[in-house]
Structure 1
Amino acid sequence: MAGLNSCRVSRPISTNVQVSGTATDYINTYKDLAISEMRRTGVPASITLAQGMLESDYGRSSLARLGNNHFGIKCHSDWTGQTIRQNDDRRNECFRKYRRPEDSFYDHSDFLRTGSRYRFLFDYEPTNYKAWAYGLKKAGYATHPDYASMLIRKIEENRLYEFDRVYTASAYKPQNKVQRTESGNGQTVKPDPAGQKTGSVPAQTQSQPQPQPQPPVKESTITFGDVMARAPRIMENNRVQYIVVKDGETKEKIEKDFQLLKWELARYNELDANFTPVPGQILYLEPKRDRAEFGTEYHIAAEGETMYMISQKYGIKLKSLLDMNGMAEGSNPVKGQKILLQPAKETN
């Protein structure tokens, strides 16, 4: 299909995450990550899941299996990580290859959050998935003429909109208001979804789509606890184990469940000793590392992003991150600032 990643494999291939290829399996595997990304960036969880399902064929495409790339994210000149070659609109195109599927989800969220052509999407309500779907098509995310309808069908067939309602109905809110601004000097990690014509910015002169009323959902249909109940508890980032806080969890309960001493959780996450966990918050269960994983060289700061937020995102100790960038304690970056995630290479 034009504008979609349609590569397939004919035999099973070993991957980091086992996905059997059904909608239910895909949702159960990635729903907690989609909700966490909605909290971090404001991209609706329903849209993230629907795009992942559609672009990766429920995790079965060769790009997803071989490259952990669920959104057809193409290479750019500043990409320093691993790559994988696939046929798309042109033969043997370069796509980004990730160590984990989660990294593809993070990259996708950041692309929508920082891309100027998608800025208008964040004016929609986060539960208005139809406006988001039509907006993505209008902005040129994919070339398939029915892309918006395909996303909407995925969302409604699988009731993915319920995950958006969890976000708005609970305390699961963003900790900071994300500004949708274009990152500086083009150095940000900015994916180019399969089928998107690089450098071609569609006109924004047409009137915004008028979405139809969404299907009614009873308040008791789903809760945050329901969503997170079957989510994998212990995950890994930068070879450091972490969890996503569930609704109603206290610091004491987490410490008891994971057999942590009273000081460990706060110290590992560089928080006040008496902090209160927030649903959707990432908490590390062991000390963070002094640098990012291999291949992750730097991060371009978004407006309002703090050094602590960056340290949590990449599983790096805050002091190490500050030292690598020659910044004093309490300092924070400006929009577009390049933040090193690895020590600067020594030169003779």
Structure 2
Amino acid sequence: MFKKAFLLFVLISFTACHTTQTVVRTTKKVPPKTRTVSRTPKRTTGTKPVATAQPPKSTNQAGNQQGEEVIVSTSKTVVYTEVVNNYVNDFKNIAMGNMKTYGIPASIILAQGILESGAGKGDLAVSANNHFGIKCHNDWTGETVRHDDDSDQECFRKYKDPSESYRDHALFLTTRTRYSGLFKLPKGDYEAWAKGLRAAGYATDPKYPEKLIGYIERYNLHQYDSQVLGTEYVPFEGQPVKVSNAGSSTASAGGYEVQKGDTLYSISKKFGLTVDQLKQKNNLTENAISIGQRLVVQ
């Protein structure tokens, strides 16, 4: 009996060992390892280095580099301050002579000459001695040249020498009624004259007065008005200077004393005349003159 009970127990135990059981497994989540990533900036191919801004070059009174003056005349002209100063020295006496004779401020005459002729280096000044950009108009019977301006190949006046251009400029302003209002302005008020020229239609450029005033003040051209008027001259870069009424130590009361090296041409150029006009004023039949001789120049 005991044997049977023992065998039964062994049989039950053996059967229990082979029973299928569902096993639940728990998977522990392992956190990922932290890696330190070193990033190298991406190089862009074909990229040029950026240049750093360079300090500006030194400028002159006109605000241009290395004394360069860009003048938009009838042809765009680039000149240097020295060229402008030389131009003023060459024509200041003619301008003062025209101021005395015709009543146009010398500063305005010179400023217009600088602007219109490119300080004597523009195409019209070089090819035709035309320093004021005066076109032919219907009353012109002299020589002409063609030049692109507001329209292609417009007709401009041609002169034998620059002094004729200066004289014609004075006649152009004094003989046309549309400019008559200018001569009611004070001769020492170059700003009013500059604006008046534009208003009367001398130029279509709305900045024409501004340009004339700019040249007058940069190059102190109003000093020549003061010389003619005998007034106090105040330079823009210095203190007031008192000047005499005479434009030259050798010229007074419309007369001129011939100096060494003078010729009828050089004297006529100083006073805005032609050689023939100078000879006519002095009843000369030939070109010979002598040192110390007094000539009528007005």
TM-score by length of 2: 0.58
**Structure 2 counterpart of 1:146, one-letter code:** K
Q: Tell me if the contact between 1:21 and 1:57 (Cα under 8 Å) persists in the aligned partners.
A: no
Q: Can you list the C-alpha shifts for 1:194-241, whole angstroms capped at 9, x where unaligned?
A: xxxxxxxxxxxxxxxxxxx99696243x4456x647xxxxxxxxxxxx
Distance 1:81 1:50 in 2: 25
Q: Tell me if the contact between 1:42 and 1:126 (Cα under 8 Å) persists in the aligned partners.
A: yes
After TM superposition, list the pairs within 5 Å mapping 1:225-240 onto structure 2. Answer: 228=248
Shift of 1:76: 2.5
Higher helix share: 2
**Structure 2 counterpart of 1:23, one-letter code:** V
Find out whether 1:113 has 2:181 as its counterpart.
no
Find out whether 1:33 has 2:94 as its counterpart.
yes
Q: 1:103 to 1:217 in 2, by over 3 A?
A: farther
Find out whether 1:130 has 2:198 as its counterpart.
no
The corresponding residue for 1:272 is none
Q: 1:131 to 1:217 in 2, by over 3 A?
A: farther
The corresponding residue for 1:159 is 220
Find out whether 1:6 has 2:74 as its counterpart.
yes
The corresponding residue for 2:251 is 246
Q: Percent identity of the aligned residues?
A: 37
Q: Tell me if the contact between 1:84 and 1:97 (Cα under 8 Å) persists in the aligned partners.
A: yes
Q: Tell me if the contact between 1:8 and 1:60 (Cα under 8 Å) persists in the aligned partners.
A: no
Q: 1:21 to 1:117 in 2, by over 3 A?
A: farther
Q: Can you list the C-alpha shifts for 1:145-165, whole angstroms capped at 9, x where unaligned?
A: 111011101100010011001
Distance 1:317 1:169 in 2: 26
Q: 1:125 to 1:99 in 2, by over 3 A?
A: same
Shift of 1:115: 1.2
Q: Larger C-alpha radius of gyration, 1 or 2?
A: 2
Larger relative contact order, structure 1 or 2 (CA cutoff 8 Å, min sep 6)? 1
Gaps of 5+ in 2: 1-71, 265-269, 285-298
Find out whether 1:79 has 2:140 as its counterpart.
yes
Q: Can you list the C-alpha shifts for 1:168-202, whole angstroms capped at 9, x where unaligned?
A: 118xxxxxxxxxxxxxxxxxxxxxxxxxxxxxxxx
After TM superposition, list the pairs within 5 Å mapping 1:46-85 onto structure 2. Answer: 46-85=107-146
Q: 1:122 to 1:24 in 2, by over 3 A?
A: same
TM-score by length of 1: 0.50
Q: Tell me if the contact between 2:111 and 2:216 (Cα under 8 Å) persists in the aligned partners.
A: yes
